């Protein structure tokens, strides 16, 4: 078995698609009639599915418990690039005792997106 994709249910497909494209994701498949888009960033796939219930506003983003983690080579550079595009962190950057530095963003549906960088090259390689 191998990991294929992560699927997030979203309220507004177009808004979420644009947000993830600003993060650097490329569109692999778009099926707006089905409320579906498949994105790729060369290391994994992310599916966005417009949820009919969420379209009605029945969920609160505060109750969702999904956090997606992406390992990146240079956190400060990425944060600067995202800030230039108007994407600001939800939670400020911090360094963990486990040896990485991370920052949390929230997408348009409230999902937490963690971008992290290992502080030592030997971590995360095994």
Same domain, 74 and 123: yes
Same domain, 81 and 46: no
Same domain, 27 and 68: no
Q: Residue 104 sits in which domain range?
A: 64-126
| Mean pLDDT score across all residues of the chain | 85
Cα separation, 88 vs 3, in Å, equals 29
Which pLDDT tens digit goes with each residue over 45-102? 999 998 766 555 555 555 456 788 888 899 999 999 999 999 999 999 999 888 899 9
Closest by alpha carbon to 9, among 33, 30, 37? 37
What's the CATH code of the domain at 125? 3.10.180.10
**Using CB atoms within 10 A of its CB, is residue 67 exposed (0-12), middle (13-18) or buried (19+)?**
exposed
Same domain, 85 and 118: yes
**To which residue do tokens 């095994």 refer?**
126
pTM confidence score: 0.70
Cα separation, 81 vs 15, in Å, equals 19
The number of folded domains in the chain is 2
């Amino acid at each position: 078995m191998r990991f294929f994709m992560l699927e997030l249910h979203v309220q507004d497909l177009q808004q979420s698609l644009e947000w993830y494209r600003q993060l650097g994701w490329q569109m692999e498949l778009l099926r707006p009639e089905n409320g579906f888009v498949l994105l790729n960033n060369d290391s994994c796939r992310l599916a966005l599915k417009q949820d009919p219930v969420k379209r009605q506003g029945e969920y609160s983003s505060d109750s969702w418990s999904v956090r997606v983690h992406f390992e990146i080579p240079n956190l400060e550079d990425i944060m600067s690039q995202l800030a230039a595009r108007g994407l600001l962190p939800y939670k400020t950057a911090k360094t963990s005792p486990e040896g990485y530095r991370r920052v949390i963003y929230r997408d348009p549906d409230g999902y937490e997106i963690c971008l992290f960088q290992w502080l030592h090259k030997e971590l995360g390689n095994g």
